[in-house]
Amino acid sequence: MSKLEFNIVEIPEGESRRTVGLTGEDLDMSPYDFKGAEIDLHFYRTIHFIRVNFRVDAEVELTCDRSLESYIQPVASDYEVLFKVDVQEETENEEGAVRRFNFSSNTLSIEEEVRDTIMLNIPIKKLHPKFLDEEGNPREFETRKYGEVEEETEQIDPRWEKLKKLKN
Helix residue ranges per DSSP H, the chain: 111-120, 158-167
Please write the tens of the pLDDT for every residue from 122-163: 999 898 888 888 887 888 777 777 777 666 667 778 888 888
Q: Would you give the DSSP letter of residue 161?
A: H
Nearest alpha-carbon partner for 98 in 71, 111, 80: 80
Residue 6 near residue 17 (C-beta atoms within 8 A): no
Which residue ranges in the chain fall short of pLDDT 70?
1, 103, 149-153, 168
Looking at residue 101, its pLDDT comes to: 80
Looking at residue 115, its pLDDT comes to: 92
Looking at residue 1, its pLDDT comes to: 60
Q: Would you give the DSSP letter of residue 8?
A: G
Looking at residue 59, its pLDDT comes to: 93
Peptide bond into 129 cis (omega under 30): no
Looking at residue 167, its pLDDT comes to: 76
- The reported pTM is 0.75
Looking at residue 152, its pLDDT comes to: 67
Q: Dihedrals φ, ψ of 113, to 5°?
A: -65, -40
Looking at residue 105, its pLDDT comes to: 76
